[in-house]
């Protein structure tokens, strides 16, 4: 082989060995710049998700705070009801209530809301000189108070009293009801709720059999209610009014008259017929 070509070959190899190192550095720097740019996009996307998560968390915090407020109110009302049923009827301050219900971690804003709005406007809480107590429908102290209430309802014709209302207002109600025994009567409604009635023993008397036969011998099934009411009025006896739903009488629709009705005009001066002349077509010509 020509020695000149061999020299050129050696020089070319030396140049090739010296140049690749520079090219590799440029490639490495390019790839590094691409890697550095990518995290910026990730940061932007992460900041957007962070803002959306913060707004979502804000809505959740608002809902959670309102739910927590009303949850505290419900816990306080239930606690006051339970202690009233157990016989603890003395009033408590708000701090004492929060201490006994273990709600000491509430904020001052929530505490102010309980003092100025929630407890004051609650129908089951009574406020007295800055203290709070339970307010039942019937405030009954003992079994005698319950018996007086049932007797009053019986005398005024108000009916019975719900067992739920008695249990709410009478401390140790189960013991008091059991002690009254046959002085009260239980009636269960179709909705399974129990009602207490006063058992008036003065109304428990024996009716003569002859009177019972006379009573049963008068048939009233075939007689209309209006006739019975009319008969009672003749005898000077007043009957109960509006005991049931009122009967609605069907409204009769007017029948439309066939054809148009001719209008009739009132005529005047009928006694001068044949004397007066008609000038509606102008002045008549002289004959």
Statement: residue 153 has pLDDT above 50: yes
pLDDT, tens digit, for every residue of 35-90?
555 555 455 555 555 555 555 555 555 545 678 888 899 999 999 998 888 888 88
DSSP per residue over 205-222, as a string? -PPPHHHHHHHHHS--TT
Q: Which residue has the higher pLDDT, 22 or 229?
A: 229
- Domain regions of the chain by residue span: 65-134, 137-220
DSSP per residue over 78-127, as a string? HHHHHHHHTT--S-B-HHHHHHHTT-TT--HHHHHHIIIIIHHH-TTEEE
The whole-number pLDDT of residue 132 equals 93
The whole-number pLDDT of residue 76 equals 92
Pick the CATH number of 65-134 from 2.30.30.40, 1.10.10.10, 3.40.50.620, 1.10.540.10: 1.10.10.10
CA-CA distance, 239 to 231, in Å (whole number)? 10
Mean pLDDT to the nearest integer, 136-161: 88
pLDDT, tens digit, for every residue of 246-274?
555 666 666 666 556 666 666 666 666 66
Q: What is the DSSP letter of 162?
A: E
The lowest-confidence range among 1-15, 160-174, 267-281 is 267-281
Which residues on neighbouring strands pair with residue 131, listed in sequence order?
128
Residue 146: Cβ-neighbour burial (10 angstroms; 0-12, 13-18, 19+): buried
User: Using an 8 Å Cβ cutoff, are 195 and 163 in contact?
Assistant: yes
What fold does the segment set 137-220 form as a domain?
A: Nucleotidyltransferase; domain 5 (3.30.420)
Residue 49: Cβ-neighbour burial (10 angstroms; 0-12, 13-18, 19+): exposed
Residues 6+ apart with CB under 8 A from 22: none
Q: How confident is the model at residue 245 (pLDDT cuts 50, 70, 90)?
A: very low
Mean pLDDT to the nearest integer, 19-32: 50
Do the domains 137-220 and 65-134 match in fold?
no
């Amino acid at each position: 082989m020509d020695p000149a070509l061999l020299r050129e070959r050696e020089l070319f190899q030396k140049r090739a060995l010296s140049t690749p190192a520079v090219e590799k550095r440029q490639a490495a720097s390019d790839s590094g710049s691409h890697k550095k740019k990518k995290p910026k996009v990730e940061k932007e996307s992460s900041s957007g998700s962070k803002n959306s998560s913060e707004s979502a968390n804000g809505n959740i915090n608002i809902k959670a705070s309102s739910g927590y407020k009303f949850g505290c109110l419900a816990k306080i009302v239930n606690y006051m009801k339970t202690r009233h049923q157990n016989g603890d009827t003395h009033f408590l301050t708000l701090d004492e209530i929060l201490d006994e219900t273990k709600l000491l971690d509430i904020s001052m804003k929530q505490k102010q809301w309980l003092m100025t709005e929630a407890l004051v406007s609650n129908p089951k809480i009574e406020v007295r000189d800055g203290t709070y107590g339970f307010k039942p429908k019937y405030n009954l102290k003992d079994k005698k108070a319950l018996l007086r209430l049932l007797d009053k309802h019986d005398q005024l014709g108000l009916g019975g009293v719900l067992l739920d209302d008695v249990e709410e207002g009478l401390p140790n109600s189960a013991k008091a009801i059991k002690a009254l025994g046959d002085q009260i009567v239980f009636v269960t409604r179709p909705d399974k709720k129990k009602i207490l009635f006063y058992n008036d023993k003065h109304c428990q008397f024996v009716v003569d059999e002859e009177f019972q036969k006379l009573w049963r011998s008068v048939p009233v099934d075939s007689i209309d209610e209006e006739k019975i009411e009319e008969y009672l009025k003749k005898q000077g006896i007043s009957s109960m009014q509006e005991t049931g739903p009122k009967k609605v009488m069907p409204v009769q629709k007017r029948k439309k008259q066939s054809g148009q009705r001719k209008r009739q005009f009132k005529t005047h001066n009928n006694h001068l017929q044949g004397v007066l002349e008609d000038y509606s077509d102008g002045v008549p010509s002289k004959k």
